[in-house]
Amino acid sequence: MLAALGPAALAYKPRRTWIAVQIHLLAVAVGNLWDKQLIWNKEDKPTRRQYEERLIKRLLYPVMLLAAGFVPSLVSLSALKSRALRKGAWFRVSPAARALIDAAILYLRRGGRIKSPALAEALRKAAEEVLRLTTPIRLLAKAVGYALARQLGVEVDEERAVALGVQWLNTPRRWRKDVTTP
């Protein structure tokens, strides 16, 4: 009875695909018995220094892109808007910045090019506002805390870095020490 169901199941396309995948997995498993090869290799965990650098790069990369020269393109503005919508920050962005980004996206979709330096600067400021609102506070506090600890020459763990960063972010600007200069 089961021998008759096998060929009948092969006639049905979704079952045929599933059966083909199962046969392939069985063949690989049997081959692995003789070869003793691992299909997946375990990746090494990054060191604390690599983790800190990746964290700071992840936080500062969008800001560095903006500082290096923001080029308002359809791809960059659409990605910026979709990121803000996904993070739930789009409606916290000022209405003027939202309108400017939406208008620029529509203009670029219709084949226009942004040539005006004043418009490019206004779009850069709007993009900075969106990026500031979409960056998680904990990530920002952690990056600032690690930068402060490095500046002070102190070794800190993750929670202490977050605490340092929150303290620095909650300090009024006139009393803050600059994080970037040693």
Q: Is residue 146 part of a domain?
A: yes
Q: Is residue 97 part of a domain?
A: yes
Q: Is residue 89 part of a domain?
A: yes
- Domain around 156: 138-175
Q: Is residue 128 part of a domain?
A: yes
Q: Is residue 70 part of a domain?
A: yes
Over residues 56-110, the pLDDT tens digits come to 666 665 655 555 567 788 888 998 899 899 889 999 999 999 999 999 999 999 9
* pLDDT of 68: 56
User: In the structure, what pLDDT confidence band is assigned to residue 41 with cuts at 50, 70 and 90?
Assistant: low
Query: Are residues 126 and 74 located together in one domain of the fold?
Result: yes
68 vs 8, higher pLDDT: 8
Residue 176: C-alpha distances to residues 52, 81, 168 (Å): 22, 32, 7
Residue 111: C-alpha distances to residues 62, 101, 108, 120 (Å): 26, 16, 5, 17
* pLDDT of 109: 94
Q: Is residue 95 part of a domain?
A: yes
Query: Are residues 127 and 169 located together in one domain of the fold?
Result: no
Q: Is residue 169 part of a domain?
A: yes
End-to-end CA distance of the chain: 79
Q: Is residue 107 part of a domain?
A: yes
Count up the domains in the chain and report the number. 2
Radius of gyration over every alpha carbon of the chain, rounded to an integer in angstroms: 26
